[in-house]
């Protein structure tokens, strides 16, 4: 199991359904400045293909199934998010893709900072170069 998977606490009541929650310093190791969600993605479509210079994020699949592949320049890892009670921390310096395995999948992301295109590395060779230069060390 990935060391970055976090169990989102869930109150499960057979009569009323479920309520899941995550808190800073317990499940989330950063302050949240932004929340966004990705949905309406065609089945099988892969998004992402980038890394972040300094952004840290928590990914939770609220509905359906999304496969997250992470790559630190040396090791690749694949984690299946198939429950709202599973979260994945994806830190800066990690190349990521998100494959939407099912129609109607919803991926919610809690991010440590506001949106800035300057924080993105969208070229894989540049990512590997920065990694080898010790950008994240
Ligand atoms: C990430 C993965 C998990 C904004 O204007 N504001 C925002 O807050 C975000 C997240 C995106 N955008 C714009 C930037 C692009 O013009 O929305 C467009 C689509 O973004 P992108 O192609 O980067 O989407 P994904 O699904 O490939 O990646 C997203 C996040 O951008 C990224 O930070 O880690 O989800």
| Token pair recorded at residue 51 | 């890394």
- Centre of ligand 1 to C-alpha 135, Å, is 22
Between the CA of 28 and the centroid of ligand 1 the distance, in Å, is 20
102-113 pLDDT per residue, tens: 999 999 999 999
Q: Return the ligand 1 atom nearest residue 120 CA.
A: 33
**Terminal-to-terminal C-alpha distance of the chain:** 24
Average pLDDT in the 58-83 region? Answer: 98
The rounded distance, in Å, linking the Cα atoms of 6 and 45 is 25
Whether 51 and 94 have beta carbons less than 8 Å apart is answered as yes
Just list the catalytic residues: 50
Look up the pTM and report it.
0.97
**Ligand 1 pocket: which of 4, 47, 107 to mutate (most atoms <8 Å of CB)?**
47
Q: Which atom of ligand 1 is nearest to the CA of 109?
A: 3
Cα(83)–Cα(100) distance, integer angstroms: 13
Q: Say yes or no to pLDDT of 1 above 70.
A: no
Confidence grade of residue 86 (pLDDT, cut at 50, 70, 90): very high
């Amino acid at each position: 199991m990935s060391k970055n998977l976090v169990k989102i606490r869930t109150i499960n009541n057979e009569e009323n359904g479920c309520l899941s929650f995550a808190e800073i310093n317990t499940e989330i190791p950063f302050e949240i400045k932004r929340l966004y969600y990705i949905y309406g993605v065609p089945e099988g479509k892969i998004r992402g293909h980038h890394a972040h210079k300094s952004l840290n994020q928590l990914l939770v699949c609220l509905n359906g199934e999304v496969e997250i592949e992470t790559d630190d320049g040396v090791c690749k890892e694949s984690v299946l998010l198939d429950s709202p009670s599973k979260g994945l921390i994806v830190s800066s310096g990690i190349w990521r893709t998100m494959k939407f395995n099912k129609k109607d999948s919803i991926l919610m992301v809690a991010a440590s900072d506001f949106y800035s295109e300057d924080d993105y590395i969208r070229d894989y060779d540049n990512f590997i170069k920065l990694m080898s230069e010790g950008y994240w060390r």
